[in-house]
Structure 1
Amino acid sequence: MKLPTGIAYRPMIAHAVVLAVAALASGWLVARQLYPLLLITIPLMVLEFYRILHQYGDSVRRITFMFNAIDSDDLSFRFNEDPSKVDNTMLNAALNRIKEILTRTKLRAEERERYYQLIMESAQTGLITVNDTGSVYQANSEALRIFGLQLLTHIRQLEGTVPEAARALAAIRPGEKLRVTCSTETGEMALTLGCSEITLEDRHRRVISVSDINSEVSEIQIESWSKLSRILTHEIMNSLAPVTSLSNTLLHIDRPLDPDVRRGLETISATSRRLVSFVDSYRRFTRIPAPQREPFEVRELIRQAVALTAAAGDAPQIHVDIEPADTMIYADKAQLGQVAVNLLKNAREATAGRPTGEIWIRSRIDAAEHVIIEFSNNGGAIPAEVAENIFTPFYTTKPDGSGIGLSLSRRIMQLHGGSLRLTSNTDHRVTFTLQIG
């Protein structure tokens, strides 16, 4: 902000002294009845009085200018303190000092705001600050992720996608805790809400915490199973190694063995090999490497998955709908390809033997610019007791299944910052949905 220029004035004290002297002189001339000389003193008094008023007005204008600048949040001004150019340097220095104090205070306030914003962004829980009318002052990235939004300015924005959450956010009051279940395009969310109150600038605001229980429980389960699997596989392999080695050595010694003993050793050796293969499949679940991301097209991912799972005989009809057709994703192509193959293989098995079996693969981009890929089939609903455990590691209903396909796929999606959910389970359609962040 540029300070208006003006002329320099003599110090106000000098004007006051001259005015006082002129007034005394005028009084003395009146007492002596030297009236003609009043033509000199009276104009001098008027002139000095005018100068005092003018300098006072200049000081008031400077102070007013400073307050207007502060009110406009503009602290770029600075008054001239050079004695060779201005006389009222003490006032200018005082005003500049006030400006410097305000500038430091503003910088400290901005640093505190950045600090609190960093804390909000570092929180693993969604945090939203709203007023009594529902206007959102702040929403951290975790809250935006939970609701699938890029920007949240009012809770009414949630009425179209998660109306249950919108009503809960409007209704919750300080000290309350609510649990809300919401159905979204990517599956069901179980949200927990907590509320606190704060007064800022004489206005009441509510700070609402939002957590997705399903997501948290899923991550805890996966991590727990991973730790358990590492321990079990280590112990099993330590026990199997000498059994396998010893049985193979005995089978190949240079002397004839009793037929019953040979059959027993062959059974032990074969069983050991099967157990080693079984344990190796579990190791894949606990040793997923960090994703090596690269850009590639969704249609190429789907094309390869369809080719890799192609089966002879009566194969179900596969419908692919990718919108837009050139959708790109940035992920580990091999890992995401494994997820697509697992889901498509399960869909083929579900529709096997059905003359009207069909599979639908649909890709789209949601409002938050996440890529959503759905794998659907009409092979019949998954039983409720099975659906509850399909993502549990090592749980399987297949005689030769390892039970790690879906749990491994979900873990891969979590490592990509995405999710895998069962979003539809009816007799007419079963849908697994991938969300790629």
Structure 2
Amino acid sequence: MTFNKFPLYVLIRILFLMLTLLMLTQVITTPGYHATSVLLSALLIGQIMEMIRFVSKTNTELVRFLAAARNADFSQRFQLSKQGSGFDELGATFTGILDKLQLARTGQEEELRHIKAVVEHVPVPLISIKANEQLTLWNNSARRLFGAHAIARVNDLARFGGEFPETLTSMIAGERRLVHVTIDDMEHRLSIVASEIVSGGQREILLSMQDIQSELDSAQLQAWQDLVRVLTHEIMNSITPVASLAKTAVDLAADVKTKVQGDSTGSRDESTEEIVEEIDDVLSAVQTVARRSEGLMHFVSSYRKLTRLPEPKKSHIKLSTLFSQVQLLATREWQEKGIYLATKITPAELDLVLDVDMAEQMLINLLQNAEQALAGVHQPQVALSAFLNARGHVVIEVSDNGPGVAGDLDDKVFVPFFTTKKEGSGVGLALTRQIMIAHGGHVALRTNKKGGATFTLTF
């Protein structure tokens, strides 16, 4: 290799330097050679400067190479062939090392970009919490979960639930918890799993937060449908023959009564009167059984709606049109009852894609519930409104200024069979919830601060 000649070139220069120094010593000690002494001195100085220049070229290029490597400046090139023999191989070596470093750096950056892209597109929100409670949102799912809220520290999560920050900071590696939070008026049930990461001597808790609200709603709905299906089937199988026999018994009792009265025409004695009275008692009891059996059959038949909801046939409709249709169907007698209805749509041209028939049925049920809740209320009022929430979802609200619903019943009112009305069946709100789940939405109930209740349909 050419660069291996470098020591030889240095040795040759040292030998010439020593030779010149020896000659200068001889000339100085010999009288009469003043001009030769000056020339040899100049030559010696020139050789020393050449030696310094020759050696310093290597140091200069080495310093430049190390600086380029330290600062990742891979644009540097070392073309040293013009600087003299022995340096072309050195320049090629420096350039080759930088090229390999650049190639390794490019590979690392590509791998890092790939990892970041994978993390960004993971459908589960990922956040991490450091020992100083600094919080980092690692992917798009996490940023979508918390929306436009600025989240930098754990305490910033307190706005979504007072115990939410404490729950996260108390989790240990391998632990799993189910947490309920409300973000931008939308409910989320998060299944949170904790992992521990130690990097650079710093401990960090990584939390994956999977929103299973829709899965829970679907599973709960399916469970209720299965239960209702079994109950209605068993009840109908049991009550149908009872109703049939009761009706037959009514006919037989009526026939016997007619015959007894016919046979005793003109000569009804005391025993005959007693028989007729007993037949009347039997007839009354059997009629009661028949009537209750028929009512129970109608009651059970109403629950079959919960297990036979068809797939939504969605179409595009303006909410102003939907509200007008619902108002026409549900509020015909409100003016006579003194109930005031206020409607508001923001923006006015707001529209939605849904099953119009199902949506009308939901809103009619909610308006009828509001009407029943306002019985006996001074200056009864109902508000029907629609708007876009902070997440861009369409929200429809039905509010009233009635007595409201007890706080512990907010979730129970959507359960099949549950009702707070004496003559209620517990079907209407359960069916509303089922329709909203079929549309990928959510229904909720809250008590207003100034009294009354508000049903919120979030699509």
- Helix, strand or coil at the partner of 2:60: helix
Q: Offset of 1:391 from its aligned partner?
A: 0.9
Render the CA deviation track for 1:81-122: whole Å, top value 9, x for unaligned: 999997522221122112212222333333334444444x33
Question: Equivalents in 1 of 2:353, 2:76: separation in Å?
Answer: 55
Residues 345 and 386 in structure 2, CA contact (< 8 A), matched pair in contact too: yes
Partner of 2:389: 366
Question: Equivalents in 2 of 1:338, 1:212: separation in Å?
Answer: 29
Q: 1:295 to 1:68 in 2, by over 3 A?
A: farther
RMSD of aligned Cα (Å): 5.3
- Helix, strand or coil at the partner of 1:362: strand
Partner of 1:26: 17
Partner of 2:284: none
Question: Equivalents in 1 of 2:206, 2:291: separation in Å?
Answer: 62
Question: Equivalents in 1 of 2:295, 2:349: separation in Å?
Answer: 44
Q: What 5-or-longer segments of structure 2 have no aligned partner?
A: 28-35, 83-87, 256-287
Among candidates 403, 415, 421, match of residue 380 of structure 1: 403
Among candidates 173, 186, 198, match of residue 170 of structure 2: 173
Q: Which amino acid aligns with 2:368?
A: K
Asked whether 1:54 is paired with 2:57, we answer: yes
Q: 1:211 to 1:16 in 2, by over 3 A?
A: closer
Compare 132-141 and 209-218 and name the one that shifted more: 209-218
- Larger helix proportion of the pair: 2
Question: Equivalents in 2 of 1:201, 1:91: separation in Å?
Answer: 32
Residues 191 and 210 in structure 2, CA contact (< 8 A), matched pair in contact too: yes
Q: 1:133 to 1:384 in 2, by over 3 A?
A: closer
Q: Offset of 1:418 from its aligned partner?
A: 3.3
Q: 1:208 to 1:232 in 2, by over 3 A?
A: same
Asked whether 1:311 is paired with 2:332, we answer: yes
Q: 1:187 to 1:30 in 2, by over 3 A?
A: closer
Q: Offset of 1:401 from its aligned partner?
A: 5.2
Among candidates 291, 299, 307, match of residue 320 of structure 2: 299
Larger RCO (CA under 8 A, 6+ residues apart):
1
Q: Offset of 1:342 from its aligned partner?
A: 2.7
Q: Offset of 1:271 from its aligned partner?
A: 10
Question: Equivalents in 2 of 1:94, 1:351: separation in Å?
Answer: 84
Compare 184-193 and 405-414 and name the one that shifted more: 184-193
Partner of 1:105: 108
Q: 1:363 to 1:113 in 2, by over 3 A?
A: same
Q: 1:180 to 1:30 in 2, by over 3 A?
A: closer
Q: Which amino acid aligns with 2:70?
A: F
- Helix, strand or coil at the partner of 1:319: strand
Partner of 1:228: 227
Render the CA deviation track for 1:370-400: whole Å, top value 9, x for unaligned: 4333211123233577655211124345677
Partner of 1:65: 68
Compare 30-39 and 105-114 and name the one that shifted more: 30-39
Count of residue pairs the alignment pairs up: 406
Q: 1:230 to 1:102 in 2, by over 3 A?
A: farther
Partner of 2:368: 345
Residues 442 and 457 in structure 2, CA contact (< 8 A), matched pair in contact too: yes
Q: Offset of 1:320 from its aligned partner?
A: 1.8
TM-score normalised by length of structure 1: 0.69
Q: Which amino acid aligns with 2:444?
A: R
Identity rate, percent: 26
Q: 1:45 to 1:417 in 2, by over 3 A?
A: farther
Q: Offset of 1:129 from its aligned partner?
A: 1.7
Q: What 5-or-longer segments of structure 1 have no aligned partner?
A: 1-9, 71-76, 252-257
TM-score normalised by length of structure 2: 0.66
Render the CA deviation track for 1:123-152: whole Å, top value 9, x for unaligned: xxx653233444321166666666565663
Question: Equivalents in 2 of 1:146, 1:104: separation in Å?
Answer: 33
Q: Which amino acid aligns with 1:168?
A: E
- Helix, strand or coil at the partner of 1:393: coil
Q: Offset of 1:297 from its aligned partner?
A: 3.8
Question: Equivalents in 2 of 1:55, 1:234: separation in Å?
Answer: 95
Asked whether 1:389 is paired with 2:412, we answer: yes
Partner of 2:129: 130
Partner of 2:274: none
Residues 375 and 432 in structure 1, CA contact (< 8 A), matched pair in contact too: yes
Question: Equivalents in 2 of 1:426, 1:391: separation in Å?
Answer: 21
Q: Offset of 1:57 from its aligned partner?
A: 1.7
